[in-house]
A and B are shown apart, each in its own frame.
Chain A
């Protein structure tokens, strides 16, 4: 099993969710986060005064999927979240040792 963590632009959330739903991925955790990568924030000017905006609003999507489906999920996220501009985000992939459904103690992929 793989854990896929995608940091995306907030306005792409609906597109990504829809695309994942279309390939049968319904389970995910979504958080509002703030941060920056190489984008490193930017300066904003309002009424002649400059403000440094260090942390930009992003959305973090986390999901655990069977290893066999990881590439497909990653492709789907990329296609649906990409605008081609700086700030589109990143995807991180982790190995997952086990998963347990608390209700009935199903384990492994059966628990997903």
Chain B
């Protein structure tokens, strides 16, 4: 009996490969060796029994002459009719057994030409494997008509076959979550692997097949480097495992770097190279898939044509992809080029393949342009704030624009960090986390509904998306803990594009803290009051708590598709809830004492303000408030107005009195201002510090400088209770901006959270004048507003009032009366 093929040659072939890493040579040698073995077995066992009426045909990998060390050997035994005699069957068995004995894993089928050309979904893989059918031995007169019949069949059913191939490819991609960036990729099945390389080839063959032949296509030069790498990796994996094993797992990655042909390249460098090439293959495969799919579905084509009407002067949309209208001019102007990503973020389309190529060709110019220090923040903020920001960011990543604008991001491109939990490379994990956050914008069920609400309430998503984008950039360096290093890189990147300092700091803080809620979830008892106090101390405000909770949610969700279990979701929500309650409680209950260690000279101002005041205001802001306080003691009232980008911030300090908040809110409303945030705290001396953040939709203050002075005067009079008829401009009533889902109002009272006041929480659709109306109702019932915290996000006003009547909490009947009137006010 012949010595098994694998034992005979495997060892020496493996040794040769280790040194030279020449996969082409290995594959050619293996193919020749197997062919020769098949011919020998045919001569020994089949030729005597089948002088004609049987042909041995190489298919699939053997047909293509692409046999790897442990690949299956696919053979078609072509017959005119099923062999029936016992002698014929014995001969076939002996033929196959001899190949198995020689160490080959033979995958064979005995078929007639008619069997091979049947239109049946289960036949698809067989038909595709026959595209590369090659006569090896036997009755050549049987093979030639079969070849013609197959070509004619394929040409006649081109569309059906192409659609079947596309369906199979999409299903395979979906199994891998449509991404190439797996930490331990299967180089055969994963997107960007062998199957995709073959898919491109098969679709080309289908395209070019005619009634007489299915031509073997040339290897596309653009895919040759990728093919070469994939061949090298597959040979290595087969030799290493001595079987058809194609998963580039962590151990294999380490082993790869130790191969002589690796020449000192470390595992990370190998994986970067793998992903770089897999990206090229995946892109080619998807391009080919889209081409077929758009041709084969009239419904899809007409939907895509309908969506094309979103084209504008700069960009046209065809088949859901964006094209530059005037590429030559637009490529010369980086700002116009970057406009494509804003368009993508707005409408959710990806750049066309052509546009991607055009952008990639201009990356060097973009780098030179960006490095000169460009104020890109307004553009980047817009991209991050638009509904399809994840699509735009992914497109920026795929085209290399993200890494060009942010060299900090380059460090995590295709970066593999070995651990038991993560499924993806660091860059892919980051993009998936941003997608997880965006997915919360859709209505969700169960506990996820609360997280969707948090997204609505978190307001401008840009800081949160920036935090996610950079949260793991520090993983590439081996110095400081990665949250600190990532925060440093984020601040550096955002300052370079001229983001406001408060955004840089907020993003930096979120990144520094991005693991803290996870740690608390695992190590602290959520029912222990000290847990909530500790987290509340760390986050400081409800706004920061919301953002950190969402960041934690997105980060865990992106670890792997199973990571965010209902168990973890519930843990995270519980932690949010206890901290939310603590932040709400401490606002009223924890007050600054008679002496402040931090600001002893300001003790009289600070005494009685919430402890949180010092946590949430910078020393400079506290200084400024103190100066206003001193001025207010002399003059009765002091105020300052400053502009922050599109918004204004008004600070008023005056002595407390009934209807104070209603008067100030009324003054703002009278000028047509829309209050988005407000705080009102009083100190021990009954001096009230009111802060309003508002927008000026009519641009009154910007377009009429004289109105600024009048605005100051009117607000001061309102603070002192001295408003006169005619002080306010004609009332500009505002209607809620009705778009999207209606927000049903809710009014709730809580007498347990605070020891001395009733907490009133109002959730309503925002409209100009809402705060004025709410405060007027409360004051008209003789209630005193001790403290206010008001926030408006995405049309939803979240107002918290701490109120008392005659120094005590409210009685139930008063609560009922207030609730009814407040709900009326909320409904407008």
Contacts and interface: CB of A to CB of B under 8 A. Distances in A.
A10 B521 contact: yes
A24 interface: no
A34 B567 contact: yes
Interface stretch (A44-52, A66-74, A90-98, A99-107): A44-52
A57 B523 contact: no
Interface in B523-573: 523-527, 565-568, 570-571
A38 interface: no
A26 interface: no
Interface in A21-45: 32-34, 44
B568 A46 contact: no
B440 to A, nearest CB: 17
Contact of B570 (A48, A57, A85): A57
Contact of A47 (B523, B567, B761): B761
Contact of A13 (B522, B565, B570, B746): B522
Contacts of B355: none
Interface residues of B, number: 23
A92 to B, nearest CB: 20
B596 to A, nearest CB: 34
Interface string B414-441: 0000000000000000000000000000
B748 interface: yes
A32 B746 contact: no
A100 to B, nearest CB: 26
A87 B747 CA distance: 33
A109 interface: no
Contacts of B450: 46
Nearest to A44: B577
Given A32-B568, A34-B570, A47 B748 contact: yes
Contacts of A87: 527
Given A47-B748, A47-B763, A14 B523 contact: yes
A48 B521 contact: no
B761 A46 contact: no
Contacts of B568: 32
B597 to A, nearest CB: 33
A87 B528 CA distance: 12
Contacts of A85: 525, 527
Contacts of B522: 10-11, 13-14
Interface of A: 9-11, 13-14, 32-34, 44, 46-49, 53, 56-57, 83, 85, 87
7 nearest CB pairs, A to B: A48-B748, A32-B567, A57-B567, A11-B525, A57-B571, A57-B570, A11-B524
27 contacts: A10-B522, A11-B523, A11-B524, A11-B525, A14-B522, A14-B523, A32-B565, A32-B567, A32-B568, A34-B566, A34-B567, A34-B570, A44-B577, A46-B450, A46-B577, A46-B580, A47-B746, A47-B763, A48-B746, A48-B747, A48-B748, A48-B761, A53-B570, A57-B571, A57-B574, A85-B525, A87-B527
